[in-house]
Amino acid sequence: MGKVFSSFDEAVADIFDSAVIMVSGFGGTGGTAQNLIVALRDHGALNLTIISNTAGLASLMGFGTLPGHTAVDCGLLIDNDQVGKLIASYPVSPSPSKVNSFESHFREGKIGLELVPQGTLAERIRAGGAGIPAFFTPTGVGTQLAEGKEVREFDGRRHILETALKADFALIKAHKADTLGNLSYKGTSQNFGAVMVRSSGISIVEVDEIVSPGQIESHLINTPALFVDRLVKI
Amino acid sequence: MGKVFSSFDEAVADIFDSAVIMVSGFGGTGGTAQNLIVALRDHGALNLTIISNTAGLASLMGFGTLPGHTAVDCGLLIDNDQVGKLIASYPVSPSPSKVNSFESHFREGKIGLELVPQGTLAERIRAGGAGIPAFFTPTGVGTQLAEGKEVREFDGRRHILETALKADFALIKAHKADTLGNLSYKGTSQNFGAVMVRSSGISIVEVDEIVSPGQIESHLINTPALFVDRLVKI
Amino acid sequence: MLDRLPREVIAMRVAKELKDGDVVNLGLGIPSLCSQYVSEGKTILYHSESGVLNYGPMAEQGEEDDDLINASGQFLEPTPGMSFFHSADAFGMIRGGHIDVTVLGALQVSKKGDLSNWMLPSRGIGNVGGAMDLAVGAKRVIVAMEHKGRDGEPKVVSECSFPLTSPTCVSLIVTDIAVISVEQEGLILRETAPGWGLEDVQNETEPELIPAKDLKEIGL
Amino acid sequence: MLDRLPREVIAMRVAKELKDGDVVNLGLGIPSLCSQYVSEGKTILYHSESGVLNYGPMAEQGEEDDDLINASGQFLEPTPGMSFFHSADAFGMIRGGHIDVTVLGALQVSKKGDLSNWMLPSRGIGNVGGAMDLAVGAKRVIVAMEHKGRDGEPKVVSECSFPLTSPTCVSLIVTDIAVISVEQEGLILRETAPGWGLEDVQNETEPELIPAKDLKEIGL
């Protein structure tokens, strides 16, 4: 059961056109699989559906990015016309005057958008990994994001039905892995990655370090090995 | 914000008759709040609804109990006629010849039972803590535990609708706490406790040790402080 | 012309609403300033959608770590008792009612407490982020904002004309001229900025304000 | 009278089904024995509902720790690369399709692969535990059991008369006399215990068995 790949290119080589791909990260560079994203850009798969919290705020405006660093995020794939649809909570720049490539592609009709409240996005991804096809949530009730969705009252409060999200691949950044596939993250960088790793057919994880089983102590493992398919050391 | 209580009795003093109470533990002594259960027995609240994986396998047959140890679990409350209803996945002895007090009370019509598949039980409790009132699951479809439940197909597969579980109180065992309420567990002893702590109005946690904030390192905290209301040191 | 309170003073007034032991989530802009003005002796647990509870001050220059950010992308300092979690758990806390107070900015708040804060209709696209989850999930939603928009239009309105974040979620509005609570009977004007009377505030507010019996000057 | 295979040999035969890298959950009884017979060189990740992945051997006497158990309540030895999680995550792994193989005991298995393993109707009450979750969630369900009940009744039946755990979930049945796969066309008899022929096995089986083209003796 060899999970360790020797290059980013090799780890993304079988990503196909029109694949659904989850991309980890909250919006900054922490928890974002920058090397895998570059490899997927070089690989060139087209018409991808990207599931990501943002369309890339780190590359756009240095969000959560260390001073002086140049960030890579899923904005790179949108810039490169590889994305046909985005499922995200924060797709555009916070300022109308700063236009990212998602927004310009969107206005040209070149890219689709499913806008999802951030908590609903996280829960839909979790549901996808936990075998829950749909759930009711109060978030979004009475807003335009609830349009067309089934509404039902529980305890006198309205809720809408949301469905699970799954992907063909996930591109994840973690801190450490052991060769079995156990992962640990640093600080706030587990965010979406630690959920996406569960709901993708093939999870591909770039890590700062790959060690032997036992070298990440059991109580420090955030993601158990069964969720992890491929590892590449940065 | 004083969360630390000086005695088990004080920590359970306001539990009222007919309260819904979650009790942590998989079935053995690990993760079971043995001291809080004794305090609740002494307190004497009646007609309780208990949500627990088992009706007490440790006290019944030494399940997961160290040799030579006498275990306390929610069986004590059932023995003491304090329980009107049990919501559990594993309510009786594995052997028909060994009858626990739940089974005899049940046959006498003195106690009600809602039998729930273990994973559905865990997910319903999680949902209760996460603001999800109901979800669809494939577990139980086509069985007697699905009777009366809404059935719906997703991706060509039948699922049933299950609703969230919440409680007035939870009695939880963790390993360490800091005074803010952050918890860490040992090994397999987080099981149901780490989920129940999220879905109870008042969570009461007994721990081996209470330390100052910072003495449990951030990456070793399993349960963030916001879920914890009361702490008692064993 | 009457003086309007600066952003810092709005944040100070909101900080008074936070109680010892509260779990608090602060939005972008004015809300993010509130933590600086909480009186000593109160323990507040700050929560952020980025997956952290009990964060403290921002990191010093040169000490930044991109694995330690809040939802505004600011770098945090490691703090004793700080904990981390993934996004599904971060929002389970919000949706599950474990956040006592959220302080949010707004584009519009209606007399029923409806909130619009995620999309300018003129742009036609917006970022919903965690706003809907917070508006629905937090036990108490406080809006901190300027009373009028940059265009001079009132932001406290009879009906929101902008896309809703959540209906009937706001319980208190703190602005640069007033403190208004949203009640069953309507909007109650509780406090006004120094020099401002009921009529002055009403002139910048679309729905009718009901003066509180003990209407007073904003206290800090 | 023909010899029946002992429980250990049933477990050995099941162990052959486990592949390198498989994530496996073993039920109580015969299934729990399987891990002892997996050939060296195969890495199997054992999962238990108690909240552990990659457990290894049971703890030695005197080394038991009640914070380290599997779903059968057995004490485990700490193992490199072992990880822990709460019950909602433990069952998210099961329901979410992350378990490659589960090996379960059974009271009855039907010709369509329906499984009954949680309640004796004569008792009127039973423990469902994690059986329904595993039967529904694991990618492959293998039943390991004695071919007949203690009462002599067949356990491989046309229709389950006992309460169902899950319909059409079993893909392979390994017993003390046969290996039977559940296919679209019915139950295929793949292997028999030494000395047992199709008719011998059929005599102890309610539905009709279809002999495999390469029907052979059970291989270990």
Q: Give contacts of C21 with chain B, Cβ < 8 Å.
A: 1
A/D interface, count of CB pairs below 8 Å: 67
* Contacts of residue C62, Cβ cutoff 8 Å, sequence gap at least 6: none
Q: In terms of residues, how long is chain C? A: 220
Positions of C marked active-site: 49
Q: In the CATH scheme, what is the code of domain D7-49+98-217?
A: 3.40.1080.10
Q: Residue D60 burial (CB < 10 Å; 0-12/13-18/19+)?
A: exposed
A/C interface, count of CB pairs below 8 Å: 158
CB contact under 8 A, A131 and D45: no
Q: Scan residues 135-164 of C and list those with Cβ closer than 8 Å to A.
A: 136-137, 163-164
pLDDT of residue C4: 97
CB contact under 8 A, A143 and C137: no
CB contact under 8 A, B159 and A133: yes
> What is the average per-residue pLDDT within B7-26?
98
Q: How many domains does chain B have?
A: 1
SS3 C2: coil
* Contacts of residue D123, Cβ cutoff 8 Å, sequence gap at least 6: B96
Positions of D marked active-site: 49
CA distance C63 to chain B (A): 18
Single out the residue of B145, B218, B124 nearest to residue B180, CA to CA.
B218
* Residues of chain B contacting C, Cβ within 8 Å: 1, 126, 128-132, 178, 180, 182, 198-199, 212-216, 218-219, 221, 224-227
C/B Cβ contact: 3+ pairs below 8 Å: yes
The chain-wide mean pLDDT, for chain C, equals 96
Q: Give contacts of A132 with chain B, Cβ < 8 Å.
A: 123, 135-137
> What is the average per-residue pLDDT within B166-188?
98
Confidence category of residue D142, pLDDT binned at 50, 70, 90? very high
> What is the average per-residue pLDDT within C29-35?
93
CB contact under 8 A, D83 and A199: no
CA distance C3 to chain A (A): 28
pLDDT of residue C3: 95
Instruction: Find the helix packing angle between B118-130 and D87-95, rounded to 10°.
Output: 120
The number of C-alpha atoms within 13 Å of D163 and in the hemisphere containing its C-beta is 20
pLDDT in tens, D95-117: 999 999 999 999 999 999 999 99
The 3-state secondary structure of chain D reads CCCCCCHHHHHHHHHCCCCCCCEEEECCCHHHHHHHHCCCCCCCEEEECCCEECCCCECCCCCCCCCCECCCCCEECCCCCCEECCHHHHHHHHHCCCCCEEEECCCEEECCCCEECCCCCCCCCCCCCCHHHHHHHCCEEEEECCCECCCCCECEECCCCCCCCECCCEEEEECCCEEEEEECCEEEEEEECCCCCHHHHHHCCCCCEEEEEEEEECCC
The C-alpha atoms of residue D220 and residue D209 are separated, in whole angstroms, by 22
Residue D180 pairs with which residues in a beta bridge? D173, D189
The number of C-alpha atoms within 13 Å of B145 and in the hemisphere containing its C-beta is 34
CB contact under 8 A, C91 and A189: no
CB contact under 8 A, B132 and A134: no
| Chain B residue with the nearest C-alpha to that of D79 | B187
Percent of chain D with pLDDT over 90: 95
Q: Scan residues 29-48 of D and list those with Cβ closer than 8 Å to B.
A: 48
pLDDT of residue A1: 66
Predicted confidence (pLDDT) at residue C108 exceeds the cutoff of 70: yes
> What is the average per-residue pLDDT within D46-68?
96
Residue A177 counted as domain residue? yes
| Chain D residue with the nearest C-alpha to that of A133 | D96
CATH of the domain at B213: 3.40.1080.10
Predicted confidence (pLDDT) at residue D176 exceeds the cutoff of 80: yes
pLDDT of residue C171: 98
The C-alpha atoms of residue C140 and residue D187 are separated, in whole angstroms, by 61
> What is the average per-residue pLDDT within B14-22?
98
Taking a C-beta distance cutoff of 8 angstroms, is the pair D187, D113 a contact? no
Between these two residues, C220 and B17, which has the higher pLDDT value? B17
| Chain B residue with the nearest C-alpha to that of D51 | B188
C-alpha B121: how far from chain center: 10
Q: Hey, where are the domains in chain D? A: 7-49+98-217
Single out the residue of A116, A127, A203, A139 nearest to residue A164, CA to CA.
A127
pLDDT of residue B93: 96
Question: With b meaning 16 or more CB within 10 Å and e meaning fewer, what string describes A181-215?
Answer: bbbbbbbbbbbbbbbbbbbbebbbbbbeebeebee
Predicted confidence (pLDDT) at residue D49 exceeds the cutoff of 80: yes
| Chain A residue with the nearest C-alpha to that of B218 | A187
The C-alpha atoms of residue B43 and residue D70 are separated, in whole angstroms, by 33
* Six token digits for residue C123: 């742009």
The C-alpha atoms of residue C18 and residue C38 are separated, in whole angstroms, by 7
CB contact under 8 A, B219 and C137: no
D113 touches chain B (CB under 8 A): no
CA distance D50 to chain B (A): 6
Taking a C-beta distance cutoff of 8 angstroms, is the pair C174, C182 a contact? no
Taking a C-beta distance cutoff of 8 angstroms, is the pair A4, A229 a contact? no
pLDDT in tens, A79-112: 999 999 999 999 999 999 999 999 999 999 999 9
Amino acid at residue number A59 = S
C127 touches chain A (CB under 8 A): yes
| Chain A residue with the nearest C-alpha to that of D97 | A131
Confidence category of residue D64, pLDDT binned at 50, 70, 90? very high
pLDDT in tens, A103-149: 999 999 999 999 999 999 999 999 999 999 999 999 999 999 999 99
Which DSSP letter does residue C200 get? Answer: H
pLDDT in tens, B140-161: 999 999 999 999 999 999 999 9
Among D25, D52, D79, D87, the residue to mutate for chain B (most B Cβ within 10 A)? D87
Residue A110 counted as domain residue? yes
- The rounded radius of gyration (Å) of the Cα atoms in chain A is 18
Touching B (3+ Cβ pairs <8 A), the chains are A, C, D
Q: Residue B74 sits in which domain range?
A: 8-135+166-233
Taking a C-beta distance cutoff of 8 angstroms, is the pair C68, A29 a contact? no
Instruction: Rounding to the nearest 10 degrees, give the CA dihedral for residues A105, A109, A114, A117.
Output: 50
The C-alpha atoms of residue B119 and residue B141 are separated, in whole angstroms, by 13
Question: With b meaning 16 or more CB within 10 Å and e meaning fewer, what string describes C102-139?
Answer: bbbbbbbbbbbbbbbbbbeeeeeebbbbbbbbbbbbbe
pLDDT of residue D220: 82
Confidence category of residue C220, pLDDT binned at 50, 70, 90? confident
Percent of chain D with pLDDT over 70: 100
Percent of chain C with pLDDT over 90: 95
Q: Where are the beta strands (DSSP E) in A38-82?
A: 48-51
Confidence category of residue C7, pLDDT binned at 50, 70, 90? very high
Single out the residue of A156, A137, A57 nearest to residue A103, CA to CA.
A57
CB contact under 8 A, D47 and A226: yes
Single out the residue of A135, A137, A173 nearest to residue A26, CA to CA.
A173
pLDDT of residue A161: 98
Q: Scan residues 179-218 of C and list those with Cβ closer than 8 Å to A.
A: none
Selecting from A130, A137, A219 the residue whose C-beta is nearest the C-beta of B220 gives A219
Which DSSP letter does residue B65 get? Answer: -
Prediction pTM value:
0.98
Predicted confidence (pLDDT) at residue C145 exceeds the cutoff of 80: yes
The chain-wide mean pLDDT, for chain D, equals 96
* Contacts of residue C149, Cβ cutoff 8 Å, sequence gap at least 6: C107, C155
CA distance D215 to chain B (A): 33
A/D Cβ contact: 3+ pairs below 8 Å: yes
Selecting from A136, A218, A219 the residue whose C-beta is nearest the C-beta of B134 gives A136
Q: Give contacts of C75 with chain A, Cβ < 8 Å.
A: 64
Among A124, A135, A152, the residue to mutate for chain B (most B Cβ within 10 A)? A135
Residue A152 counted as domain residue? no
pLDDT of residue B229: 98
The C-alpha atoms of residue C65 and residue C48 are separated, in whole angstroms, by 16
Predicted confidence (pLDDT) at residue A189 exceeds the cutoff of 90: yes
